[in-house]
Amino acid sequence: MAAAAVLPFISLGVQAANLLIPEVVALYNAIKGLHTAYPQMTQAQLSQLVSELSSQVAAADAAAVAAVADIPPVSGGAVAAAAPASNTPAVAPAAAWAMAMQPQHG
């Protein structure tokens, strides 16, 4: 009699355990993810990330231009457009990025 009364609860317990395990895993992953999310990065780390991305973009840009270096431009001003339009260095000063990473409103 008592065993019959307990049996549904055991079944529920098994189901609860099945639910609980993935939730614990998800919770662990969430905490791990939060640790690496951008707002948790320091401004120095963000500046470093920006510098690395910036350098990679500049390198890929140079490679793209080099790939077509032996094909002459259309006569006119087309090549002038290819010249760097800014004197901003490839690696932005960390101080500038520290300012840009401040919370913005609007």
Partner 1 sequence: MPNSKPVHWIAAALLLTFSLVSGACAHSNTATQNPPAPPQVQVLQYALTAATSNQALGAAVHLACRPAPPAVATITDQHLCSELADGVRAAAAGIEQIRAEAASGDAWSVMKPKIAAIVSAIALNYAVPGGNDQLVSQISALTATLANIKGVQ
Interface residue list for partner 1 (CB under 8 A): 1-2, 5-6, 9-10, 12-13, 16-17, 19-20, 23-24, 26-27, 29-31, 33-34, 37-39, 46, 49-50, 53-54, 56-58, 60-68, 70-74, 78-79, 81-86, 88, 90-93, 95-97, 99-101, 104, 106
Residue 24 CB, nearest approach to partner 1 (Å): 7
Residue 94 CB, nearest approach to partner 1 (Å): 10
What's the 3-state SS for the chain? Answer: CHHHHHHHHHHHHHHHHHHHHHHHHHHHHHHHHHHHCHHHCCHHHHHHHHHHHHHHHHHHHHHHHHHCCCCCCCCCCHHHHHCCCCCCCCCCCHHHHHHHCCCCCC
Cβ-based neighbour number of residue 46 at 10 Å = 17
Residue 42 CB, nearest approach to partner 1 (Å): 13
Residue 75 CB, nearest approach to partner 1 (Å): 8
